[in-house]
Amino acid sequence: MSRLVVISNRVAVPKARGAAGAQGGLAGALNAALRKNGGIWFGWSGQGVDQFTGSINYARSGDGVTTATIDLEYQDVDEYYNGYANSTLWPLFHFRLDLTRYENEFGVGYERVNERFAEAVVPLIAPDDDIWVHDYHLMPLGEQLREKGVKNRIGFFLHIPWPPTNLLVSLPFHERLVRALLRYDLIGLQNGTWLDSFLHYCRKELGAEVDERTGTVVLDGRKTIAKAYPIGIDYDHFMSKGETGEARQAQQRLQSSTRHRTAMIGVDRLDYSKGLPERLDGIGRFFDNYPERVRDLVFIQIAPPSREDVQSYQHIRAVLEQKTGQINGARSEVDIVPIRYVNRGHSQEELFGFYRGAKIGLVTPLRDGMNLVAKEYVAAQDATDPGVLILSKFAGAAPQLDCDGEGALMINPHSSDDIAHNIRLALDMPLEERKARWERMIGTVRDDNVHWWTENFVGDLAAIELD
């Protein structure tokens, strides 16, 4: 088997900031893939410096994964990470044209950093390596590598949604971005919806030859395969966290502090794509519609801050604080506070315990590439008394967890009434139905896990014939 060179913006799971699911699936998933397959993981160190040097810092994680990172200039961090990646591509790919900023210097910084990545990583690549690039930060990297003479197989996986063509065309130089993407040999998307949008764009805007059945896209005589690979959690690893004292204590803490009330939990990076204000509106509507049930339910929202230098993220934080305050002000009693809003990350062990102690998991993104919190919530349940998952139909995980209409309770996150109604259904759901729904979901969460995802992608990449 060829050695794997994995390249992503972020490298390694950020310490003490929470589970993979809460922090975005990428770091946890790649850590798991490399633990199992070996290889090297290249990316940004997370550090800013005055002057770019390109020198590589090597490290070996406790899990035995070798990481190679470079520092970026402060200007790179502003223009590439805060700028093009998180103020242009992220909102646009999450269907938020209203938040998308198009600045020339962002695009220039994005290309500069992709070139810096390519220059630094090329000397680490051996002729037999397979290269696997990740996410929207690095869409032009394949082209940069090709221009530097790299002949290896190169795959790319997008962890976020692919937007409909009529949104994507609002991006200046959209053709250039997607043409560069087509220099990869294999492109992975999270599900069939994003894949269809991608293929539609290639045919309509680039005039590429597209075969929907095989996912083959031919442009200027070059062939790329595009396919859906839904990412999963590192199931066994996550389940082992549930056996720790820390997980048991966390569950107990949650249950003893909520006593006779049902705990409902949300765990998300503090990001506008997660539908947090809409979620709070839905909970507010639930208390408006069923005021007597304020004694039955307590909602715990864990939301570690994210991308704090980007304005839209500062704004969402302020909105959430205001909405939580309003609902608690209106609905609290001297002995009851309906919403607990926790603005920091937790370890995977603690999260496991919180998920297990909460009888409802509320996952309401407006758009999400996948959403691993939904899968972690299902994994952490007790088979004899499982909780209910309420899930947005716009999460990438929806096709897997709806289980023919009898898995998660599906909601439209834009509708407060729909959220409120489904909270009531979940609260009153009899044990037999909870078990039946959970049993339908657990199979895909356990079997279609992160190793299955890696094997599928890496296997397909390795099978590509080089010219």
**Best CA proximity match to 5, nearest among 186, 126, 136, 140:** 126
Which of these segments, 22-30, 206-214, 241-249, 252-260, binds ligand F6P (CB under 6 A)? 22-30
Q: Binding of ligand F6P at residue 91 (CB under 6 A)?
A: no
Least distance (Å) from ligand F6P to the CB of residue 396? 10
Residue nearest to ligand F6P (CB): 24
Active-site residue flag, 159: yes
Interface with ligand F6P, residue 27, by CB under 6 A: yes
Q: How far is 97 from 170, CA to CA, in rounded Å?
A: 9
Q: Which of 19, 23, 262, 270 binds ligand F6P (CB under 6 A)?
A: 23
**What single letter denotes the amino acid at residue 352?**
F
Between 28 and 338, CB nearer to ligand F6P: 28
Strand partners, 410: 391
Among 307, 346, 367, 440, indicate the residue that binds ligand F6P (CB under 6 A): 307
Which of 258, 262, 273, 306 touches ligand F6P by CB under 6 A? 306
**Residue 110: which H helix or E strand, with range?**
helix 104-121
Least distance from C-beta 160 to ligand F6P, angstroms? Answer: 6
Q: Which residue's entry shows tokens 């005055």?
A: 50
The only residue of 10, 94, 153, 179 in contact with ligand F6P, by rule CB under 6 A = 10
Structural contact between residues 270 and 409, judged by C-beta atoms closer than 8 angstroms: no
Rounded Cα distance, 325 and 293, in Å: 19
Residues contacting ligand F6P: total by CB under 6 A: 11
- How many C-beta neighbours within 10 Å does residue 420 have? 20
Strand partners, 225: 186, 216
Q: List the one residue from 18, 24, 304, 345 that touches ligand F6P (CB under 6 A).
A: 24
Q: How far is the CB of 128 from ligand F6P (least distance, A)?
A: 27
Q: Which is nearer to ligand F6P, 27 or 254 (CB)?
A: 27
The answer to whether 368 is a known catalytic residue is yes
**How many whole angstroms separate alpha carbon 409 and alpha carbon 392?**
9
**Surface-to-core class of residue 64, CB atoms within 10 Å of its CB (0-12 exposed, 13-18 middle, 19+ buried):** exposed
Stated as kind and residue range, the H or E segment containing 68 is strand 66-73
Interface with ligand F6P (CB under 6 A): 10, 23-27, 135, 159-160, 306-307
Catalytic residues: 159, 368
